[in-house]
Amino acid sequence: MRMGLLYGEPRGANVRISHLDRRGRQPPTQRTETVRTFFTAPANGCLGGEVGGARGRAIRGKVGSVEKRYGACCGGPLVFSLRLCCELDRVRGAYRPTMAPENNEIPRSAAPAAKRRRAWSLASLRSRARARGFTLIELMVVVILIGILAFMAVPTMSAAGLDRRVYEDAANIQDLIREARARAVGRGGAVIVSFDTKGKPGHFKTYEIRSDVDGGQNLPLTSCRAPTSWADVASLKEVGQADLGTYEKSNNITATIYGPDGKAVDEANLCFTSFGRTYYSKDRVFDGEAVMQSAIRVEMKRRNADDTGNVGIVRNVLIPPTGAARVVSGAP
């Protein structure tokens, strides 16, 4: 049994006696007993060895009781082990348990008792400091630091959110154009995609051209003219949209359309026929012969407060004559 230096109130523990020994010889009957009580009392001295005023240790078992006192050394642990022996009680004719130390290890420090006592106190304080939790002040400091870091990250997160919205708007326009071409080929009727940025931030809608013949209003037409010019979209069936709304307007997110010649326009129209051909018209005047030869581009960007420059990443929706639109980040 090994114990460190203990001060304070008596403490109890259970100890098991492994065997009984009578002066190096085994007794006639081997017995294993459980010790009932083991306690320590405060030390009154700082001496090594047996002293009457030092720490006392007592073991009481079924076979009897014995008490032996050992000295305590201030400033370091006193490590020892105990062995319970048996001696013959000649008066009663029975074995009487005794306690003898097997090994005593006393610190070798020769410093004065007061100095060793201070060292022990500092070691105890360090041990308690390692075991203690957070104080209220430490917790408040951590919360304040987290708040400062979060406040510093808000502008970056806000800008990233706006850039993400610009990309989403460009992706919606791309999907609208791809869906219009697939609808025209799948249903066998012409589909018009109307771009209008006169009333910022921008409106993008798709319409299906229907027959004007009596009784055939729901039949799609394969041509982009009805009969010699593009049909008025106000009278057509709207089948899709990707308008830029209030959020884009409040954050100054706008769209700019560039025609096949690379010049900016306020309005543009694409028509996909049932054969997969693509026609372009700025003002809906259509001759039915000129097929779209060059790509057009829709530039999505976020402008600064005074509308003098772009902020963040610019997204471009490239629309080739095949109608397979794609989004490009930065310059096209």
> Could you say which DSSP state residue 218 is in?
T
Phi/psi class of residue 323: alpha, beta or left (left: φ > 0; alpha: ψ in -120 to 50)? Answer: left
Question: What is the tens place of the pLDDT at every residue in 201-214?
Answer: 788 989 887 766 55
Q: In the chain, which residues have pLDDT < 50?
A: 1-89, 91-111
Give the model's pLDDT for residue 246. Answer: 83
Cis preceding linkage at 201, omega within 30: yes
Give the model's pLDDT for residue 309. Answer: 80
- CATH fold of 165-329: minor pseudopilin epsh fold (3.55.40)
- The 3-state DSSP class for residue 174 equals helix
DSSP assignment of 135-147? -HHHHHHHHHHHH
Residues of the chain within CATH 3.55.40.10 domain(s) are 165-329
Which helix (H) or strand (E) segment is 250 a member of?
helix 246-250
Question: What is the tens place of the pLDDT at every residue in 68-119?
Answer: 433 433 333 333 344 444 444 454 444 444 444 444 444 444 445 555 555 5
> Could you say which DSSP state residue 231 is in?
P
